[in-house]
Structure 1
């Protein structure tokens, strides 16, 4: 089956009459939307800690930095699950696709709006971005909609500033250093790298619950494990084992220091700058869920943001109860 791609909100849509799944070999393949990103750290950490094997699972982790491709793999049935942002479940429901988050990793986005050091005297808040160029990972991405929402809170329309897709990691850093953007939204460890070199300063911090509530008005569940509802209905025992593995991983994160967690990660994740990785992880620890449950009122906050600027969701009826379930994490406890 060749899926038809719709690169909206970093999500693709496989337009098929019914879900198609690869032959059930007993292996569960999980596509991660950028496996080295700290927002998705629980995926690799679970593997490193041996929790999949403890549950008797044969799990393969794949990394696909482009969200559009990760979603396409899931919708085409080539992988059984995706580790990505929960908001995709809402966006896809608007297109008639039933996707459910079964474990929430991040109770907040883990995103940071950074201001270029050369612009920090003129940009003190999102109210000051009129006429400025703002960096996002891609047009129609989560960062794009969050940026629009934060600016709108200060009375600015999207016509009053420019948005430039600059990607993440090294391409985002280059955009700041080359002064192609006045401010931009990114995650760890990119944020800590720019803060350490003094090339940027924090404008809006959504790595903590306090900062997220101040910026968005409530908890904003983000990184999560989600699957097609059709797969879930036929594989509840496997879903339960995955939930147990990830709930144990989240408990490990919440009971160990950033340095201890770093020791469990592959060395190529931090290269020759282990101290910076530890610092970036320390900054990220507040974003991780303690138990994998969907935060109370979190889905409503996400829907509010998407309804404001995502053309797929705006004006549509979304049944939030179908976008996630706490069933498996509750049983995992």
Structure 2
């Protein structure tokens, strides 16, 4: 009798379990929603400049999407304006010169570079052909007007430093903000400036037209060290430290996408890279764009890491001419991190 009761009890439990399973299976499954990535706005200090090529090229290659990111690129003609947008909270990150992170720390703002695009500035001081016979070096700029993208910009600090190394103090020449690209070319042609600092493809355009000649070239490591006394990391991706602390996955995704692009730049020809770019970036003269791109390729890092000797060189330049930095203690270790690029797999 006890055996029969035990058997009936087991059978009843089994029947109840089967019934419960059928009921659960009959209920509709809860819908699964894919997480929508947060929009990331990145301001570029002149998106047409070849020193910032990795920004648009990453978008064109689809690497932002592959990293699970929703990125929108915006553009400002100068890095100073991009920096202001970051501090105002209008954008989450900036692609501009690394030196802004030093300047901002000196003013009480914590900002870090997380990917270095340019191991050198990629800047070139061009002298108007009409003045080339009398301006043969930076020692000859006394009494002259020199063009920069903006007052307080990276080009203004670099120009002042080059002049000082040549023995010419800031009181003996004039800096004039003329922007970049077409506005820079117009200022040179209209004789509003005698020389000025600009980047590719503007450099190649001026050389082709014969309007200017190269005075100081900082498009490769050797020439940059000769001009500035060390490596000068420049074009980079930086963001406020508070954003990086609260968005580590997004920061890691950006590092992954941009390092992938830097590797692409070092494994493809200038012609192949140009083929990825929109027509309005290349312009009507594709051959000139390719030539400018070939001249720019040595500026890019391979892995996005900060060169060890770079930050001290940048600080030396800023200490001389940036009133925000002069006389202030700057902890260079807080102006950049290799954390995110170190985690990118080969």
TM-score, normalising length: structure 2 = 0.87
Q: What are the Cα deviations for residues 10-29 of structure 1, in whole angstroms up to 9, with x where unaligned?
A: xxxxxxxxxxxxxx961211
Q: Which has the larger radius of gyration?
A: 2
Q: What are the Cα deviations for residues 227-281 of structure 1, in whole angstroms up to 9, with x where unaligned?
A: 1100101111111111011000000001111111000011110121111111111
Partner of 1:127: 139
Instruction: Confirm whether residue 218 of structure 1 aligns to residue 223 of structure 2.
Output: no
Partner of 2:107: 95
The whole-number CA distance in structure 2 between the counterparts of 1:219 and 1:112 is 15
Instruction: Confirm whether residue 308 of structure 1 aligns to residue 326 of structure 2.
Output: no
Q: Which of 77, 88, 94 is 2:89 aligned to?
A: 77
Instruction: Confirm whether residue 293 of structure 1 aligns to residue 293 of structure 2.
Output: no
Question: Map of 1:154-303 to 2, 5 A cutoff?
Answer: 154-303=166-315
Greater helix share, structure number:
2
Q: Which runs of 5+ in 1 are unaligned?
A: 1-23
The whole-number CA distance in structure 2 between the counterparts of 1:65 and 1:146 is 17
The whole-number CA distance in structure 2 between the counterparts of 1:59 and 1:138 is 27
SS of residue paired to 1:292: coil
User: What is the Cα-based RMSD across aligned positions, in Å?
Assistant: 1.2
SS of residue paired to 2:326: coil
The whole-number CA distance in structure 1 between the counterparts of 2:236 and 2:169 is 30
Q: Which of 36, 43, 49 is 1:37 aligned to?
A: 49
The whole-number CA distance in structure 2 between the counterparts of 1:236 and 1:251 is 22
Structure 1 residue 147: deviation in Å? Answer: 0.9
Q: What are the Cα deviations for residues 294-331 of structure 1, in whole angstroms up to 9, with x where unaligned?
A: 01110000000000010000010000000000011111
The whole-number CA distance in structure 2 between the counterparts of 1:79 and 1:135 is 28
Q: Which runs of 5+ in 2 are unaligned?
A: 1-35
Q: Which of 77, 96, 109 is 2:121 aligned to?
A: 109
Q: How many residues align?
A: 310
SS of residue paired to 1:28: strand
The whole-number CA distance in structure 1 between the counterparts of 2:211 and 2:90 is 41
Runs of 4+, deviation exceeding 4 Å: none
The whole-number CA distance in structure 2 between the counterparts of 1:165 and 1:80 is 27
Greater mean alpha carbon deviation, residues 116-125 or residues 306-315: 116-125
